[in-house]
Amino acid sequence: MPDNHYDAIVVGSGISGGWAAKELTEKGLKVLLLERGRNIEHVKDYHNANKEAWDYPHRNEPTQEMIAKHPVLRRDYPLNEATMGMWADEQANPYVEEKRFDWFRGYHVGGRSLLWGRQSYRLSPMDFEANQREGIAIDWPIRYEDIAPWYDYVERFAGIAGTQEGLDVLPDGEFLPPIPLNCVEKDAAKRIKEAFGGQRHLIHSRVANITQPKPEQNRVDCQYRNKCWLGCPYGAYFSTQSATLPAAVATGNLTLRPFSIVSQVLYDKDRQRARGVEVIDAETHETHEYTADVVFLNASTFNTTWILMNSATDVWEGGLGSSSGELGHNVMDHHFRCGASGEVEGYLDKYYFGRRPAGFYIPRFRNVGDEERSYVRGFGYQGAASREGWDREIAELNIGADLKQALSQPGGWTIGMTGFGEMLPDHDNRISLDHSIRDKWGLPVLSINVELKQNEFDMRRDMVRDAVDLLEAAGVKNVKGDVGDYAPGMGIHEMGTARMGRDPKTSVLNSHNQVWDAPNVFVTDGACMTSSSCVNPSLTYMALTARAVDYAVEELKRGNLS
Amino acid sequence: MNRRELLKMIALTTGTAMIGGKSLFAFSDAGQSDHPFSSQDVELLDELAETILPRTDTPGAKDAGVGEFMALFVSDCYTPSEREVFYFGLAQLEARSRAAYGRDFIALSGEQRLELITELDREAMAHAQQQARREQPTPAEALTAETQTAQNQTAETQSSQEHADSEEALPHYFTMMKQLTLFGFFTSEVGATEVLRYEAVPGRYDGCAPYNGEPAWAT
């Protein structure tokens, strides 16, 4: 066997790639894990993990130099001193915005698993049935029952803190004890339940932060520093580095190759199988070929799709998977920044100790059961209550010792939340290759053409109105509806450009995430999503990946992939 | 806290969103870390900051090096037009001091400093309130606007909109000075650990802890 052959190749080391590597190596396969960016070693390379605001020259605010270098990142909160170096180099990696699209990319080992929001919810039976019931796009080729045991499996390993709630719209799972609500949130939950006759619920957010140690994974439980984004030295939140990568390494079956940009899947048209991938070394610009029996594409939704579009173009002009006419289409994100906030009277004898990496969640309640709004699907809210700090307004005190004294005490309680809304798959929302613009390695770049449609705009009105209603029902004063700046991509939940389906004419992947036109190529990142639900998607990528690997290994044994 | 809360803009006590950092328009000659402020400028900024947040039984702005921080932040994080406003403000501070008391700010008594700064604060607040009235669309207006504009929004229109916004919304110079004083002080190690409370590794979360007048958490 030549040096450059492996049983399996995994492209991308983020949330789903890490899972693919873990599952494949644990099943005994020799795996090459390719990552386009640099390596980041667990704990050792978390340089800012113990820093505070005063340890940064500009107290963690962006400088004009940072702003100039990050024309996309500067549009939102990710641009700060603490996470510099954790986002893609925008000069080396340009893309075209036919319409504004905020694409926030993590090009390093671990990808955005180091930077994610960790909110972890299951899609519901309703989510898997919605496209078919409403005649939108195409039907998912699987149902909740197909993925439920895999949710169990990944939740047990990743460690999800949460509570059993018995809600149809948000299936329960295998949870560690929750990260507590504070007293204001607990009372708000009671009032909301009463006011809406048990039809709306404020619950603990479900997050991939462990609340009990996992010594078998060398992970310590959450220390309530709320510094997840800096890399957790305790390994308390799920990331490739804290969880899946060490498991894969422990098997002795893993080879990790950073600085490896996959430029195409090598396609054997006689066998109708991939034989491997072509890699450009990001540092030397040299080209290498690696071969394998099975290839998992987990390069993040758009980059996985980019690889497919740039592969087998001698057979299909639009690339591998384009025979469906759907490759690159049906881009989805979660639209948000519609919510409300207000002031809470009282509780001035209560405060909190510790900094939570979590808050509360209000699961979807619109278009559930028989309700029919002017739009389809729904939204959930994420929020928190807290006491104001020194950055609050004190109208009567402006200057001097009294001001300092007042600001050194906590202010009153406030509570706020923002909705995360489902975005419908639409054929017109698409990405494509632009060969007229090249990246640092001479590769064509992606051109993005995505916009919100009427269903999302109609939903956003409810997202504000209902947030106001919920907070008012909870007894909150001075409630203000809030509409912030949102452009597609800002949710950092890109999905749908190589969707799963039942028919090769309308989908890129089958029910086991195999590319119809190359059954030994699997896509299990966000590209595979047939609809978006309104819940944060990463947990679903984990479950679909574990499920697909299990199937892939069985198929390998049966000789169906060679 | 979830990551979206990081979005909460700092309103401070100035009624205006944090200037600098989140201001969006870039320019080309940025990045010098040696700020161009003179040591006299820094001293003036220190004295100004100390008037806003004086040392009491706990440390004050000078103890936290706020003047030096302001100079660095304005140099590296402000846009050129914001810096212009700030420089103008420094000159104004001296001009107003000489006009009212016939002396440089640094030579004023504590009482005179407080009087002048209180006056500037009042002007700045009025300016901020006027701007806030002009700039705040209601949620309904914002929702209507996004259906009209979002569909045709390109990166270029976004960029020019950012530019227009940042040019129009230039704040009063004293708003900048006060914001930076508060921000620089409470995010300093001195401010966070000796005036506010700081716990590096809490180790647990109690969402219903009794409160008896202790300082607020720094973070």
- Cβ atoms of A120 and A206 within 8 Å: the answer is yes
CB atoms A352 and B3 under 8 Å: no
Question: Does the distance separating the beta carbons of A63 and B146 come in below 8 Å?
Answer: no
Token pair belonging to A534: 């309104």
Name, in order, each residue with C-beta under 8 angstroms of A514's C-beta and a sequence gap of 6 or more: A520, A521, A522, A548, A552
The 10s digit of each residue's pLDDT in B87-124 is: 999 999 999 999 999 999 999 999 999 999 999 999 99
Residues of A in contact with B30 (CB under 8 A): 63-65, 67-68
Six-digit token string for A194:
């009463």
Taking each continuous run of H as one helix and of E as one strand, the counts in chain B are 8, 1
Q: Give CA separation, B114 vs A145, A207, A407, B48, B103, in Å.
A: 70, 49, 18, 9, 15
Per-residue pLDDT of chain A (562 residues), as tens digits, is 568 999 999 999 999 999 999 999 999 999 999 999 999 999 999 999 999 999 999 999 999 999 999 999 999 989 999 999 999 999 999 999 999 999 999 999 999 999 999 999 999 999 999 999 999 999 999 999 999 999 999 999 999 999 999 999 999 999 999 999 999 999 999 999 999 999 999 999 999 999 999 999 999 999 999 999 999 999 999 999 999 999 999 999 999 999 999 999 999 999 999 999 999 999 999 999 999 999 999 999 999 999 999 999 999 999 999 999 999 999 999 999 999 999 999 999 999 999 999 999 999 999 999 999 999 999 999 999 999 999 887 766 789 999 999 999 999 999 999 999 999 999 999 999 999 999 999 999 999 999 999 999 999 999 999 999 999 999 999 999 999 989 999 999 999 999 999 999 999 999 999 999 999 999 999 999 999 999 999 999 999 999 999 999 999 999 999 8
Q: How far apart are CA A140 and CA A128, in angstroms?
A: 6
* B12 touches A: beta carbon within 8 Å: yes
Tokens of A50: 């113990």
Helix (H) or strand (E) holding A469: helix A454-473
Measured between beta carbons, the chain B residues lying within 8 angstroms of A391 are: 10-13, 182-183, 186
Q: What ipTM score was computed for the predicted complex, to two decimals?
A: 0.93
**B208 CB-contact burial (10 Å; exposed 0-12 / middle 13-18 / buried 19+):** middle
Encoded tokens for B153 = 């929004």
Q: For chain B, positions 34-93, list CB contacts with chain A under 8 A.
A: 51-54, 56, 58, 60, 69, 72-73, 76-79
Token pair recorded at residue A558: 């049966």
* Strand-pair partners of A482: A339
DSSP letters spanning A130-184? HHHHHT-S---SS-HHHHHHHHHHHHHHH-EE-----BTTB----EEPPPPP-HH
Q: Select from B76, B121, B219 the Cβ nearest to the Cβ of A64.
A: B76
Over the range B170-206, which residues count as b (16 or more CB within 10 Å of their CB) and which as e? Answer: bbbbbbbbbbbbbbbbbbbebbbbbbbebeeebeebb
Q: Which residues pair with A432 in a beta bridge?
A: A447
Whole-structure pTM value: 0.94
Mention every residue, 6+ apart, whose C-beta is less than 8 A from residue A178. A161, A162, A163, A204, A206, A211
Quickly state the pLDDT bin for B172 (edges 50, 70, 90): very high
In this structure, the number of other CB atoms found within 10 A of the CB of residue A220 comes to: 16
CA distances from A413 to A49, A289, B5, B16, B209 (A): 29, 59, 15, 21, 14
Residues of B in contact with A387 (CB under 8 A): 216
- Asked if residue A462 lies in contact with residue A366, where contact means CB atoms within 8 angstroms, the answer is yes
Would you call B124 exposed, middle or buried from its count of C-beta atoms within 10 A (0-12, 13-18, 19+)?
A: buried
Give dist(CA A126, CA A531) in Å, integer.
11
Question: Taking a C-beta distance cutoff of 8 angstroms, is the pair B22, B73 a contact?
Answer: no
* Min Cα separation B214/chain A (Å): 7
Measured CA to CA, the distance from residue A174 to residue A210 in angstroms comes to: 12
